Amino acid sequence: MFPRLDQAGIVAILDALSPHQNEPWLVDDVLYVELVSEDDGSLYRDWEPEAIEQLTATVGHRPAWAVSIDVSGRVDGTEQILRLALTLLDAGGVAMDDYSDHAWTAHDIRTDARYEGLSFFDFRGFHDAQDQRT
């Protein structure tokens, strides 16, 4: 996630959502959340160039930090990730997921917008499309 809020504002939100565990934060008992930075090399490490280009074009610059969210493998996590994404992007910004190179706005997520047949965090649709190709 690349929220428009500054890091202090995001930390305050995450601290409120996870008062007993932070850095990394555990949100809704299934989302592992941390701040990542281009400075320490963790932000764009596994990104495809097209995804970085899409993000930069949408945001207007290459962000230097982001909120990284991992979903526990023991649960679906869709409901929790959507709720957190809308919370973090309430003041603007975009989210990127592992299933497309699209930069998703809060409006996109809220309205279940589609990009190349997928919605935000559409791991089911992504895997179904992969299965149909094989």
- For tokens 């090399």, name the residue: 41
**pLDDT at residue number 74:** 84
Is 77 in contact with 84 (CB distance < 8 Å)? no
Q: Report mean pLDDT in 10-residue bins for the chain, 134 residues.
A: 97 96 94 95 91 93 97 91 97 93 95 94 78 72
Q: What pLDDT, on the 0 to 100 scale, is given for residue 127?
A: 67
Residue 46, class by beta-carbon neighbours within 10 Å (0-12 exposed, 13-18 middle, 19+ buried)? exposed
Please tell me the chain's helix, strand, coil percentages from 3-state DSSP, rounded to the nearest 5.
35, 20, 45
Identity of residue 1? M
Q: For residue range 94-132, what is the model confidence (pLDDT) as tens digits?
A: 999 988 889 999 999 999 999 999 999 998 777 677 677
Indicate the SS3 state at residue 130: helix
Domain range holding 26?
A: 2-133
Residue 82 CA to its chain's centroid (Å): 9
The model's pTM is 0.89
Contacts with 92 (C-beta within 8 Å, 6 or more apart), sequence order? 3, 4, 106
> How many structural domains compose the chain?
1
Phi/psi of residue 33, nearest 5 degrees: -120, 135
